[in-house]
Amino acid sequence: MSKWIKPKSTIGIIGGGQLGRMMAFSAKERGYQVGVLDPTPNCPTAQVADWHIQAAYDDTEALLALAEKSDVLTYEFENVDAASIQQVQDNVAVPQGTDLLLITQNRLKEKEFLKNSGIPVATYAKIETIEDLVLQSKTIGFPSVLKTIRGGYDGKGQFVLQQASDIASAATLLEQGTCILEKWVAFQLEVSVMVARNESGATSVFPVSENIHENNILLQSIVPARIPEGLQRNVQQIAETIAHKMNLVGVLGIELFITEQGEIFANELAPRPHNSGHYSIEACTDSQFDMHVRAICGYDLPAVELLRPAVMVNILGEHLERALELNEQKPAWHVHDYGKVAAKRGRKMGHVTILTTDLESTLAEIEETTIWNH
């Protein structure tokens, strides 16, 4: 890759969801052209891009067409086809490469990478048969979590085993292929952190976000996380270590557990901007999308500063109608609508970011809207 991919060049985005949409906003602000490859007509990214190639992610001809029209390619989610991307790397700059994809697309490889990098992870074992599951559950103990090694998000492809009698039910996941069994971490908090790195090895780490999930879907991100500053620094140091070990180019999201004793366990990696980093659009000097564009285009990365504490709340399909009314009811709140055509229950349709000087009163104010009450 040449030193800089300058404005007026074209960024091709593989994947047309909300992450690509917000990436496109940052790219357009900096003067780039944006193209997108996605099989869905009128997908969120296509609505704001300059052009759209409507095709499957593993359509090599379509990827070649995207490459021919672009100066740099990036992806907005990890379930794209790494082999297809490898075939177009001679035609266009792909700064993120495919190593990162291949690691994060496979939970077993991801855990092995983290462990080999000296990052603490929960005890785990590879599971291929029900006999493996019976044997390893005796070693790992209960509760534990069986996960498919490929696919799965928002709690899909997972089964929590509380006792030996759950093994038969959990084993149905093995029909989808090899799994990983992980010891349950008795965590006090779930946190995440975004880190950006460019090809020269410069990094910039975002504040640590405290994440609250409901039904395995992220509901709220609270920034800064309500943990001691020393723990925040430790989390950020883990992020930098992972970024360097992976030769990251772009933005990476890291989800972690923190126990009551202050232990930190890395849980999952996302090789792209992450839902829990959306607060950065309003609350930071540069958003995660700004930093991703800078990094893949070869530019230096400024230090990221938190301008104000913030709470980000996801808008799911069942929240959308009332959440959009916040534009009139809460003029200081930042309401984002992803432009998805169909509002389905449990589907991420947008988010709200609230800048605050008093996190507790803001959390109470969110509760008072009753939009997210069930």
pLDDT digits (tens, 9 = 90+) for 65-101: 999 999 999 999 887 888 888 889 888 999 999 999 9
Q: Are residues 179 and 204 in the same domain?
A: no
- Ranges 17-31, 49-63, 162-176: which has the least confidence: 162-176
**pLDDT, mean of residues 178-191:** 95
CA 305 to chain centre: 20
What is the band of 152 on the pLDDT scale with cuts at 50, 70, 90? low
Q: Provide the pLDDT for residue 155.
A: 58
What is the band of 153 on the pLDDT scale with cuts at 50, 70, 90? low
**pLDDT, mean of residues 106-129:** 96
Higher pLDDT, 373 or 41: 41
Indicate if the pLDDT at residue 1 is higher than 70.
no
Question: Does any domain span residue 102?
Answer: no
Question: Does any domain span residue 207?
Answer: yes
Token output for 175: 């029909």
**pLDDT, mean of residues 268-283:** 96
* Final residue in a domain of this structure, among 183, 216, 235: 183
Indicate if the pLDDT at residue 127 is higher than 90.
yes
Q: Are residues 330 and 287 in the same domain?
A: yes
Q: Are residues 232 and 363 in the same domain?
A: yes
**pLDDT, mean of residues 358-371:** 97
Q: Provide the pLDDT for residue 104.
A: 92
Phi, psi of 144 (to 5 degrees): -150, 170
Q: Are residues 73 and 206 in the same domain?
A: no
Give the integer Cα–Cα distance in Å for 105 and 149. 8
Question: Does any domain span residue 2?
Answer: no
Question: Does any domain span residue 100?
Answer: no
Give the integer Cα–Cα distance in Å for 10 and 31. 9
Q: Are residues 86 and 206 in the same domain?
A: no
Question: Does any domain span residue 258?
Answer: yes
Give the integer Cα–Cα distance in Å for 332 and 370. 18
- Ranges 1-5, 40-44, 54-58, 331-335: which has the least confidence: 1-5
What is the band of 157 on the pLDDT scale with cuts at 50, 70, 90? confident
Q: Provide the pLDDT for residue 304.
A: 98
Q: Count of domains in the chain?
A: 3
* Final residue in a domain of this structure, among 75, 94, 113: 94
Indicate if the pLDDT at residue 2 is higher than 60.
no
**pLDDT, mean of residues 258-285:** 96
Question: Does any domain span residue 277?
Answer: yes
Query: How confident is the prediction for the chain on average, in pLDDT?
Result: 94
Return the CA Rg of the chain: 20
Give the integer Cα–Cα distance in Å for 45 and 35. 9
Indicate if the pLDDT at residue 41 is higher than 80.
yes
Question: Does any domain span residue 101?
Answer: no
CATH number assigned to the domain comprising residue 55? 3.40.50.20
Indicate if the pLDDT at residue 154 is higher than 80.
no
Q: Provide the pLDDT for residue 178.
A: 93
**pLDDT, mean of residues 103-110:** 94
Give the integer Cα–Cα distance in Å for 71 and 48. 18
Q: Are residues 169 and 195 in the same domain?
A: no
* Stated pTM of the model: 0.95
Q: Provide the pLDDT for residue 374.
A: 65
- Ranges 15-19, 77-81, 362-366: which has the least confidence: 77-81
Parent domain of 19: 10-94
Neighbours of 201 (CB within 10 A): 11
What is the DSSP annotation of 88-102? HTTTSB-TTTTHHHH
* Final residue in a domain of this structure, among 139, 154, 183: 183
Which residues, including other chains, have CB under 8 Å from residue 267's CB and lie 6 or more apart? 121, 122, 185, 190, 255, 256, 257
What is the DSSP annotation of 252-279? EEEEEEEETT--EEEEEEESS--GGGTT
Question: Does any domain span residue 103?
Answer: no
**pLDDT, mean of residues 8-17:** 97
Q: If 0-12 CB within 10 Å is exposed, 13-18 middle and 19+ buried, where does residue 253 land?
A: buried
CATH number assigned to the domain comprising residue 263? 3.30.470.20
Report the share of the chain in percent with pLDDT over 90.
Answer: 87
